[in-house]
Amino acid sequence: MNTLILIFIFLFGLVVGSFLNVVILRLGTNEGIVKKRSHCPRCGHVLAWWELVPLVSFVVLRGRCLACRHKISWQYPLVELATGLLFLSAVNYQLSLINGGVPLPTSYFPLLTSHFLLPTSYFLILISFLIIIFVYDLRTYIIPDKIIFPAIIVSFLFRVFEILDFGHWDLFRIWNLGFVIWQPFLIYLLSAIVASAFFLAIVLATRGRGMGLGDVKLAFLMGLLLGWPNILVGLFAAFLAGSAVGLTLIFLGRKKLKSQLPFGPFLVGGTFVAFFWGTSILSWYFNLFF
């Protein structure tokens, strides 16, 4: 049964990843995301159902359009695979939190409670938003407001709802505890404000040449998702990866010192690192030095 649940989650992630590819492709165009059927962006060939099976269709078609034989971008299978794996990791991670560190529970009752379903749904939605931001910024050097603002709103509402115990409201307790009960929410909010203020300072200091306002908004989202001190891990990982990739591209002659490099993908990558391994990284760091 455990294996069947994992397979279902992975397959669900593949399907969602296929939809995310459509969103990425049609953002910034006049094409509707759900109204128009999927088609080849080069020749307009409308895809049959068997040409839309995640991963499998790419292999069967040998990476080429059935009609015009134009190469299909590797973005499609990679986004599908990444979404499936991240969905699987997020669900497994959430299950481990409610099951004392064991990846899958011995009883499936936790899967039916709001304390599992709501946080897990939130994480899967945020993962979907972040994947879109990663790929779209990599392609266009733009973090779209149509994605980042809904992601921030969802995160903000989730953190408020989390304080209110996912609908199991005890108004008497909330009134008595007052500031104490809202402290976790304020920590997330403060992390978001400080992270975005840091990036805004870079934007102002470099007059937009070093960072863009999209990075400021993404940093705010990171703070709401990660909180303190995991936001530090996320930002450190992003800057470390960005520096390594930038220096490598300069060394290989692919970029120059003043060339632009989208930073959104590194922030997204840093977010995933901090989300899944932030606590372990911080524990290792403090044990090593303190």
What does the pLDDT look like over 103-129, one tens digit per residue? 555 455 455 566 778 889 999 999 999
- DSSP character at residue 64: B
Sign of CA pseudo-dihedral 92, 96, 99, 105 = positive
- Are the CB atoms for 269 and 237 separated by under 8 Å? yes
The pTM of the full predicted model, rounded to 2 decimals, is 0.90
What phi, psi does 64 have (nearest 5°)?
-135, 150
Q: Say what angle helices 114-140 and 75-98 make with each other, to 10 degrees.
A: 150
Question: What confidence score (pLDDT) does residue 46 get?
Answer: 81
Question: What confidence score (pLDDT) does residue 44 get?
Answer: 74
Residue 155 in tokens: 């995160």
**pLDDT tens per residue across span 160-216:** 888 876 555 555 555 555 555 678 889 999 999 999 999 999 999 988 777 889 999
**pLDDT tens per residue across span 59-76:** 988 888 888 888 888 999
Amino acid present at 209:
R
- Are the CB atoms for 21 and 54 separated by under 8 Å? no
Could you give the CA distance from residue 27 to residue 45 in angstroms, rounded to a whole number? 20
Question: What confidence score (pLDDT) does residue 197 get?
Answer: 96
Does pLDDT of 8 surpass 80? yes
The per-residue pLDDT of the chain, averaged, comes to 85
Could you give the CA distance from residue 146 to residue 33 in angstroms, rounded to a whole number? 13
Element (H, E) at 153: helix 145-163
- pLDDT band, residue 35 (cuts 50/70/90): low
**Residue 196: strand, helix, or coil:** helix
> What is the average pLDDT across 3-20?
91
In sequence order, the 6+-apart residues with CB closer than 8 A to the CB of 290 are none
* 100-104, 132-136, 160-164, 244-248: the lowest-pLDDT one: 100-104
Question: What confidence score (pLDDT) does residue 1 get?
Answer: 47
